[in-house]
């Protein structure tokens, strides 16, 4: 199974924020959308970074109470790992596990197609495993 199937199922909507916005505004977006990361995008729809719950926690330990008033681009992760729709779920799972990422933008030919999370990857793997089990059960019982 490929990343394209996950994006097709979950949709291509991506929550983003401008780099000059505040960390408090980013935290509100995370809370309102019940997500763990927000892409930081420039005016030309280019990915400038990503800000996650982890980035905000690190900023809190560094800057204290003033953190929420600081700019997103002060604490965002700048080097954003990306994936493509043709990557397999197994490949993405390996990248996310070894590099300790929980969110990856899906990009093809420089165009943002969506965002995939570790939760999306786990759900896809569980769905695949369930289908395999049902197929084998049908084969064994002669119903497949």
* CA dihedral over 104, 108, 111, 114, signed as positive or negative: negative
Which tens digits make up the pLDDT trace of 100-131?
989 999 999 989 999 999 989 888 778 777 76
The arithmetic mean of pLDDT across residues 12-25, rounded, is 96
- Domain 3-140: CATH class, spelled out: alpha beta
Q: Which residue has the tokens 């990915």?
A: 47
Using DSSP bridges, classify how beta strands 37-41 and 16-17 pair: parallel, antiparallel or unpaired: parallel
Which tens digits make up the pLDDT trace of 77-92?
999 999 999 999 989 9
CA 51 to chain CA mean position, Å = 11
Residue 64 φ then ψ, to 5° = 70, -145
141 or 104, which is more confident: 104
Does the predicted TM-score (pTM) go above 0.75?
A: yes
């Amino acid at each position: 199974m490929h990343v394209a199937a996950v994006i097709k199922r979950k949709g291509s909507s991506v929550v983003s924020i401008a780099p000059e916005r505040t960390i408090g505004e980013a935290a509100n977006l995370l809370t309102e959308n019940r997500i763990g990361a927000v892409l930081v995008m420039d005016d030309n729809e280019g990915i400038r970074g990503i800000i996650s719950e982890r980035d905000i926690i690190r900023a809190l330990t560094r800057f204290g109470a003033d953190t929420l008033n600081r700019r997103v681009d002060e604490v965002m992760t700048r080097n954003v790992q990306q994936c493509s729709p043709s990557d397999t779920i197994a490949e993405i799972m390996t990248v996310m596990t070894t590099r300790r990422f929980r969110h990856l933008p899906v990009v093809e030919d420089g165009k943002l197609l969506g965002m995939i999370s570790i939760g999306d990857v786990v759900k896809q793997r569980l769905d695949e495993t369930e289908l395999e089990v049902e197929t084998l059960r049908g084969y064994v019982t002669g119903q497949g």
